[in-house]
Amino acid sequence: MPDKIPAIQTHPNDDVIILLEDARAGDIAVTRAGIEQPLNAGIPRGHKAAVRAIAPGQPVRRYGQIIGFACTAIMPGDHVHTHNIDVGELAKDYAFGIDARPLAPAAAPRVFMGYARPDGRVGTRNTVLVIAVSNCAASVARQIAAAFDDEALRDYPNIDAVAPLVHWTGCSIGGESVTILRRTLGGFARHPNVGAYLLVGLGCEVCQVSELVTDQGLEGAPSVVIQDAGGVRPAVEAGIRAVRRLLPQVDANRRTEQPVSKLTVALECGGSDAYSGLTANPAAGAAADLVVRQGGAAVFSETPEIYGAEHLLTRRAVSEAVGRALVERVRWWEDYTARGQVSINANPSPGNKAGGLTTIYEKSLGAVSKAGSAPLMAVYQYAEPIQTRGLCFMDTPGNDALSTVGMVAGGANLIVFTTGRGSVFGLQPVPTVKVATNTPLYARMPGDMDIDAGRVISEGVSIEAMGAELFEKMLAVASGERSKGELAGVGKEEFVPWIPGALL
């Protein structure tokens, strides 16, 4: 007897359904809307089955949108995946601003407990950063920070950590790359989650401490230059002394009640699967809408991962100028990838494809659901300061670390990260709330996932209710509750700034 396999059709016009369990050839996929589709092949959970015949060259739709074009004849019940569907040229109607609808302000203001800073921004953590301006200073920065473990900080209960900010670059770069690196490092130094910082340089690298200070307005910043200090050991000792002088003033900060309008939430997805666009991403979008309704900011990114879905965002742009700014960044990536002789469709990773995603169009359509329903207020370059309230976009690569670093450098003080395959990403000094797209993942990695958005499918929880649950978790973590990633010790090694130019 064939088994009946539960399935979902995301839009009545879709050519495919998503299977919720592994299926064998001969099983029957059944949707809540009453579709019963016999299956011609074994199809893994999360993958697509056709419910209509699709001729070669014809579009294939999911979410009511085109996710690719058939490259062979597809029959009802066939497995629809990389073997029979590919990207093609899309005709997009950008229709700037036609769907921009301001969200109604929240009826009741909400608050969280945060650290008020002199510039008016609010931190969700109170951290001391030891910032290596180049890879040449990374070891010294690590050794300075390592001197301040939990025991060393026991007399400073209001300091979350003394953390190193180290990376792989800073020398042998020039032009746009060094400009972006300085902007990124400056954004972390000025970040509202940073109570104080120490700059560490070698002395002969391209990204000089003195030039970073001048370029980013960091006058008066404490610093150590290894060559001037007399080498590694003297520099470490000088750095430790400098940090000790900072600790009392940082510890004097206290959490106070702050409005949610002071939150800037970075929305990220990584290790995505076919459930991302069904559960966690739309739930993150619902939570983002709640932040926006409170007067806060929500920022999303990864330009290569809105590719093929950018027309849904330009239609929500608050102005034609904002919509055209987004299109211009998409065009830049088309040129950038062409010069690098790679296809944007190469973006879906092996894990994405194993989880059921097939093309960049399909991945992008699921990814943009993180953006909720608010109007798009602004488009920022990588690591630019985020000064607009409401929904914003930042131009970044599709890599999780690179994109999140850019948004945090811009001032995001909380990260919401959705994952279907099980990413364990974190990034000090900002806490990350991890949202599992499916219940089996949440059960398999309970020490890493904060929220089980898979309950949208497994228990029938509405997107709105899941978004409200996530919003409450966000406020709790912003107020000091440790996220699963923080408890697991993740976040010290994930600072990866984007360097788009040539290495010299």
pLDDT the model gives residue 346? 67
Give every CB contact of residue 149 below 8 A, 6+ residues apart in sequence.
none
pLDDT the model gives residue 343? 77
Average pLDDT of 125-142? 98
pLDDT, tens digit, 9 for 90 and up, residues 438-456: 999 999 999 999 999 999 9
Sheet holding 256-259, edge to edge: 122-123, 111-116, 256-259
pLDDT the model gives residue 453? 98
Could you tell me what percentage of the chain is helix, strand and coil, using 3-state DSSP and rounding each to the nearest 5? 30, 20, 45
- What whole-number distance in Å separates Cα of residue 472 and Cα of residue 469? 5
Average pLDDT of 249-259? 98
pLDDT the model gives residue 345? 72
348 vs 131: which has the higher pLDDT? 131
pLDDT the model gives residue 422? 95
Rounded to whole angstroms, the maximal C-alpha distance in the chain is: 79
pLDDT the model gives residue 91? 85
Average pLDDT of 10-26? 96
Per the CB < 8 A criterion, the answer to whether 129 and 315 are in contact is no
In this prediction, what percent of the chain has a pLDDT beyond 70? 100
Give every CB contact of residue 326 below 8 A, 6+ residues apart in sequence.
310, 313, 314, 317, 376, 379, 393
pLDDT, tens digit, 9 for 90 and up, residues 282-324: 999 999 999 999 999 999 999 999 999 999 999 999 999 999 9
User: Residue 207: pLDDT above 80?
Assistant: yes
In this prediction, what percent of the chain has a pLDDT beyond 90? 92
pLDDT, tens digit, 9 for 90 and up, residues 370-404: 999 999 999 999 999 999 999 999 999 999 999 99
pLDDT the model gives residue 123? 98
pLDDT the model gives residue 88? 85
Pick from 73, 71, 72, 67: nearest CA to 90: 67
Paired strand residues for 122: 116
Residue owning tokens 């099980």: 422
pLDDT, tens digit, 9 for 90 and up, residues 334-360: 999 888 888 777 667 888 898 899 999
pLDDT, tens digit, 9 for 90 and up, residues 383-392: 999 999 999 9
Paired strand residues for 198: 130
Sign of CA dihedral 15, 21, 25, 26: negative
pLDDT the model gives residue 89? 85
pTM of the complete model? 0.95
Q: What's domain 111-251's architecture? A: 3-Layer(aba) Sandwich (3.40)
Region of 451 (left: φ > 0; alpha: ψ -120 to 50; beta: rest) is beta
Average pLDDT of 124-148? 98
What number of other Cβ atoms are within 10 A of residue 304's Cβ? 24
User: Residue 132: pLDDT above 90?
Assistant: yes
Domain 4-86 has CATH 1.10.357.10: no
Take residue 219 and report the two structure tokens written for it: 């006058």
